[in-house]
Structure 1
Amino acid sequence: MRRDILLTRRVQPAAIFARAWLACVTVLFVLPLPALASEAEPSGLATTRSDLSAKDLRRVLAVTRPTTDFSKAEQFEVMQGGAGTSTKAANRDAFSHSSANITFEEEATFKVGNGLFRKLWVSAPSSTQASDGLGPLFNARACQSCHLKDGRGHPPEGNPDATSMFLRLARTAETEAEKKAVAERTVLNFPDPVYGGQFQDLAVPGLASEGKMAISYQEIPVTLADGTKLSVRQPSYSVTDLSQGPLDPRTTLSPRVTPQMIGLGLIEQIHPADILGHADSDDRDSDGISGKPSIVRDHTSGELTLGRFGWKASNPTVRRQAAEAFANDIGLSNPDVPLHWGGCTEAQKDCFTMPNGVQQRLGDTELPDPIMDLVTFYSQNLAVPARRDIDKPDVLAGKKVFYDLGCASCHTPKFVTRRDAPNKAQAFQLIWPYSDFLLHDMGEGLADGQQVGDADGREWRTPPLWGIGLTKTVNGHTFFLHDGRARNLTEAVLWHGGEGQKARDGFAALAKSDREALIRFLESL
């Protein structure tokens, strides 16, 4: 039997979670009430909450108000994934647990989805017909191969295996017709005419891969205000051993490491009004932060909606994110992206001579709907781990520094999810992702020069910070940012430019004790 969504199903240790439970059922003070949604608002782009009563809306406004008291932890703070937060040990499996508030029957669905997420696919034809269809060109044989332990990928770092990192290939719209197509959201950008939208360094037997990714680094010295000397590394990307000739000279290379998987279903159920409410594309308040939403076209309904997944917020749903990964990363067609030969382009004639894994008795694509449903459910219900050390003086001091530097302007601490979420496990949950899910100009240093829909070559979606302190525990490394260039959290902060420049410079000017406190706060997330 499902527990009430405002309660935690597992209540250990008792001292911490009793406090969270009591806080969850407290009606807080009343704030001014904005207008409720009108029926004319498109559901995917609604600017007011249509799912809440006036009473609930007041509660939500109160509980999501930014804190001004850094003398103690906030109520609910330990349960950063709401009632679904995992309270299990913070070990290598910390990102692989199911949401704590799903039903017993849903646990079974989660486990089957987990099996499919870990499944190693093989090329067709195969005696194991339920496992064939790989490629012909691909980057990995399993979802888990990229999302290591459901966590964060990393650069090759001297290892030829680049499985958890890949290159997006694209050019910006040039003609008026192309610009119109992007403006109307019928395309995001324009892939390389030969190699397509993603560089694939693996291929099935009998077919040459597209080539190899090459990375070199230049160390750039940085001296902080207190005299501390360190360095950050500037990466340079290229491709070698190209099997189909050179890339188009207009094609840009955008490196991407795979992000962690936790909390995706909760992110999906943040009401669009709460994300759009943080947008300030023209920086009308003159705070230097001008986050803008990524508006994309839903491939199922054809309607405009809010993008919130991916490094440039190009996908609106967990299912669409999974469908594109299956098609482009592994080469498996599915009802959402029915490409039986994956990322093969018309110029790659040999690719289309290879067999695919479509079996009519199972459906029209290599992955039928039931598999997509199971993997989507698994991806939506990977639990966010509980916070650690939230009452420690250095963590509280670091939290204050985080707010004082303006980090919370983009890394929005908390939201309350939709009350009308399809699955009650994600409904009306107070969550702490530390992201506004908007696009921000991060400066020339982090620019990839690649347009992706509304995102230009300097813009990236604010990545959620929850779980970031467990990266080393789960994945054995501390590589951060979209391409893993930052070798630790300090370097990640120092790479912030553009809208993040003021916070970066403030960090560089801090005393050592304050810098260390900020890092301790981030490590507690």
Structure 2
Amino acid sequence: MIKNALACLVMLCFMVTGCSKDEEDYVPLTAEEGEQYSGGSSTVINATQEAFGFASATLSENDRIDFGVGNSLFRQSWVSAPSSTTARDGLGPFYNAVSCSNCHFKDGRGRPPAFDGELGKGLLLRLSLPGTDDTGASIGDPIYGHQLQDNAINGPIIKGRIGITYQTITETFDDGTVVQLQKPIYRIDNLGYGSLAAGLQISPRIASQMVGLGLLEAVPQATLLAFADEHDSNGDGISGRANYVFDIESNSHKMGRLGWKANQPSVKQQVAAAFSGDMGITSSLFPNENCPPGVDCNAIPNGGSPEIVDANFNSVVLYSQTLSVPIRRKYNEQNVLRGKQLFTQMNCVACHIPKMQTGNEHAIAGMRNQTIRPYTDLLLHDMGSELADNTPDFLATGSEWRTPPLWGIGLIQTVNGHTSLLHDGRARNVTEAILWHGGEAEQAKLKFKKLTAQEREDLLAFINSL
């Protein structure tokens, strides 16, 4: 109906005013069938502040019960032991946050500190030294481990505090528009247990939004490997490759697909690592406390062994796997569709793959055989020196990052009240995020800088519709 109306208007213009041939031939762009359902049957029709917090409609009744339990455990605060709340005690002794939702507020995205010294908004520092251990993982600081926990329960001295300053970098579009980027420089203040090791690399990481993780987990490995082009055989400058990481349950290496450097093979291991590193909660996968030398964790009360029992832990895993992807907005408007064309013409789709199918083997039936539109290949790409953290992670180099999925990106402001993007939140909006692209994405950035103001608006309208 809309298409016919537009066609009539164009014909009227041609007959009455003598429009150009281009106007006469104009045909409105159209969306793909089902394009708005980014998560397939797991898409939720909601664009409010709660958009990231809904269970997949595909869940069984029993899974819905477990989802509710996982939701409660995800949102409620853990406390130090001993406590009358025995199912939620065992926090620390060192930690970054007291709950999962401290970092993933409303199942969304964290942000860097708004001011020097601000705590608990979803940013942490990874610590690593050159070399790897027997599994191929990076080596942590001999005192502070693989992650700086900047909080502690009563008793132990806090390991340290995160400090941040910014350097300004200027980018100029071809039309003269100037954008001031901010490059964060991190430090660790008030070290509680001695100096950091010489040569230590510090890598800031922002908590990502939680939607669609089970769907990404359900994409067959063969599908993802088909996207890889490690040696750039087609000559387009894009050479994505897989990371292979240590899987604790199988005691073997598997393809990584989660985390900023694709350093986790499954949602289950990702959740266990977060409980351990972020909150100091032990599980059957990570049964040991994070204690620096000189601190006797055995003398500090704990919440049991493990501190989160398997039944509760598995509920949090299922919750994390089955959060619905929100439906796209304005997906069929002409400016959004023009932006989609530009996204393709700039070859952003070489890394941000628009569409793929999940397989038929995921443990949760509702994740199987879904057509999804995550806009990622889950592969590693060299993003250039400006985004490099110089921190290898299994096969990932210090300048490689996994392509983050773009679904839900346009709702981060609505859900979380900010638009901080990239691995450390340095980009304050989508424009800045694109301008930070380098390495394999350098050509896409240069094409972006050549766009007119209207074309940039169309491109951003498309990305924010996701």
* TM-score calculated relative to the size of structure 2: 0.92
Cα distance in 2 for partners of 1:201, 1:524 equals 36
Equivalence map 1:315-330=2 (5 Å): 315-330=264-279
The answer on whether the counterparts of 1:79 and 1:431 sit within 8 Å (CA) in structure 2 is: yes
Cα distance in 1 for partners of 2:136, 2:286 equals 14
Indicate the residue corresponding to 1:265 in structure 2.
214
1:149 aligns with 2:90: no
Superposed CA offset, 1:208-234 (max 9, x none): 111100110111122110011121111
Among candidates 473, 483, 499, match of residue 414 of structure 2: 473
Superposed CA offset, 1:452-483 (max 9, x none): 10111000000000000000000000110000
Equivalence map 1:164-203=2 (5 Å): 164-173=122-131, 178=132, 181=133, 186-203=135-152
Cα distance in 2 for partners of 1:348, 1:513 equals 60
Superposed CA offset, 1:264-297 (max 9, x none): 0100000000001111111121110011101123
The one-letter amino acid of 2:361's match is D
Report which stretch shifted further, 150-159 or 497-506: 150-159
Indicate the residue corresponding to 1:82 in structure 2.
40
Identical aligned residues as a percent: 45
Report which stretch shifted further, 217-226 or 403-412: 217-226
Equivalence map 1:144-293=2 (5 Å): 144-158=101-115, 160-173=118-131, 178=132, 181=133, 186-293=135-242
Indicate the residue corresponding to 1:367 in structure 2.
308
Which has more strand, going by share of residues? 2
The answer on whether the counterparts of 2:102 and 2:120 sit within 8 Å (CA) in structure 1 is: no
The answer on whether the counterparts of 1:194 and 1:348 sit within 8 Å (CA) in structure 2 is: no
* TM-score calculated relative to the size of structure 1: 0.82
Displacement after TM superposition at 1:302 (Å): 2.1
**Is the partner of 2:44 in helix, strand or coil?**
coil
The answer on whether the counterparts of 1:70 and 1:400 sit within 8 Å (CA) in structure 2 is: no
Among candidates 363, 367, 386, match of residue 426 of structure 1: 367
Equivalence map 1:291-370=2 (5 Å): 291-339=240-288, 341=289, 343-345=290-292, 347-358=293-304, 364-370=305-311
1:101 aligns with 2:50: no
**Is the partner of 2:227 in helix, strand or coil?**
coil
Cα distance in 2 for partners of 1:196, 1:301 equals 24
Cα distance in 1 for partners of 2:309, 2:413 equals 36
Cα distance in 2 for partners of 1:256, 1:304 equals 23
User: For the structure 1 residues 348 and 259, does the alpha-carbon distance in structure 2 shift closer, same or farther, using more than 3 Å as the test?
Assistant: farther
**Is the partner of 1:193 in helix, strand or coil?**
coil
User: For the structure 1 residues 129 and 75, does the alpha-carbon distance in structure 2 shift closer, same or farther, using more than 3 Å as the test?
Assistant: same
| Runs of 4+ residues over 6 Å off in structure 1 | none
Indicate the residue corresponding to 2:92 in structure 1.
135
1:399 aligns with 2:343: no
The answer on whether the counterparts of 2:51 and 2:326 sit within 8 Å (CA) in structure 1 is: yes
The runs of 5 or more residues in structure 2 that have no matched partner are 1-26
Indicate the residue corresponding to 1:73 in structure 2.
31
The answer on whether the counterparts of 1:444 and 1:497 sit within 8 Å (CA) in structure 2 is: yes
Number of positions where the alignment pairs a residue of Structure 1 with one of Structure 2: 439
**Is the partner of 1:328 in helix, strand or coil?**
helix
Displacement after TM superposition at 1:123 (Å): 0.8
User: For the structure 1 residues 75 and 371, does the alpha-carbon distance in structure 2 shift closer, same or farther, using more than 3 Å as the test?
Assistant: same
1:414 aligns with 2:363: no
Superposed CA RMSD: 1.4
User: For the structure 1 residues 348 and 266, does the alpha-carbon distance in structure 2 shift closer, same or farther, using more than 3 Å as the test?
Assistant: farther
The runs of 5 or more residues in structure 1 that have no matched partner are 1-68, 359-363
Among candidates 117, 132, 136, match of residue 74 of structure 2: 117
